[in-house]
Amino acid sequence: MITATANDLTLPLIGGRHHFLLRRLHSLTGIIFGGYLIVHLFINATLIQGWRTRDIYQLQVNKIHVLPFLRGVEWIFIYLPIIYHAIYGIYITFTAQWNVDRYPYAKNWFYVLQRIFGLYLAGFILFHVLAMKWVFGAGLAFDPEHATGSIAQHMNASWALPFLVYPLGIVASAYHTANGFWTAGITWGLTTSADGQRRWGGVCTVLGVFLFACGMLALYATVHAGPYIHQLLSVPYHG
């Protein structure tokens, strides 16, 4: 189960009396990022529908890239929340009073996993974004005019990407989002009773499985599109 986490054990060293507000902002930005991640992985899962008769994934990418003020939307609702959530999450990780060795309860282990997966996600997302934005060269970059082909090229650039880096990223994303949503229910006072937390935990477990399935479907599709990369990249763009 990925429906529990330990109580907040972070020492309020940053912000002093504003620590409560900073923690709430950390939770809020996590919810925003989690919402984006659900949409992102769901759209990526359309890669499994193939591209020979109709490239559904390319159609979804086209819809996104004609949105007005796209760059501003990305920074306000994606990049800035991720940056704050990651920085403060790293701070929480390194100031937490770990007690899983003395109290090896399930909730404590869920908390530890949340922090470990959070650290991996911070590095994974940094790599993913920079690679997609051409920082590491054209071979790893995302081309919205050839979305399926560029994703397949990225994923097949090295064996480590589809068999190590991205599977771990998918697991970390699914767990961190599902467990984070469960925690948010407590943080915002929405699930105060044990029954409420248990029911919300079931919903979050389903969400985690859904996100994992979406990610793995997309990963499977891009790996198997490898032999057709040149064909995909040569398809005329229809925006």
Answer yes or no: is 188 within a domain: yes
Longest dimension (CA), the chain: 61
Give the model confidence (pLDDT) of 69-89 as tens digits: 999 999 999 999 999 999 999
Answer yes or no: is 114 within a domain: yes
Can you give the residue range of the structural domain that contains 186? Answer: 16-233
Answer yes or no: is 6 within a domain: no
Answer yes or no: is 68 within a domain: yes
* Beta carbons of 225 and 152 less than 8 angstroms apart: yes
What's the N-to-C CA distance of the chain in angstroms?
43
Overall number of domains in the chain: 1
Give the Cα separation of 155 and 232 in Å (integer): 14
Q: Can you state the angle between helices 166-187 and 106-132, rounded to 10 degrees?
A: 120
> CATH number for the domain including 78?
1.20.1300.10
Tens-digit pLDDT profile for the chain (239 aa)? Answer: 444 444 444 444 555 567 889 999 999 999 999 999 999 999 999 999 999 889 999 999 999 999 999 999 999 999 999 999 999 999 999 988 877 777 777 888 999 999 999 999 999 999 999 999 999 999 999 999 999 999 999 999 999 999 999 999 999 999 999 999 999 999 999 999 999 999 999 999 999 999 999 999 999 999 999 999 999 998 776 65
Answer yes or no: is 4 within a domain: no
Quick check: helix, strand or coil at residue 203? helix
Q: What is the DSSP letter of 51?
A: S
Answer yes or no: is 134 within a domain: yes
Give the Cα separation of 218 and 227 in Å (integer): 16
Answer yes or no: is 1 within a domain: no
Letter for the amino acid at 20? Answer: F
Answer yes or no: is 25 within a domain: yes
Give the chain's length. 239
Give the Cα separation of 89 and 79 in Å (integer): 15
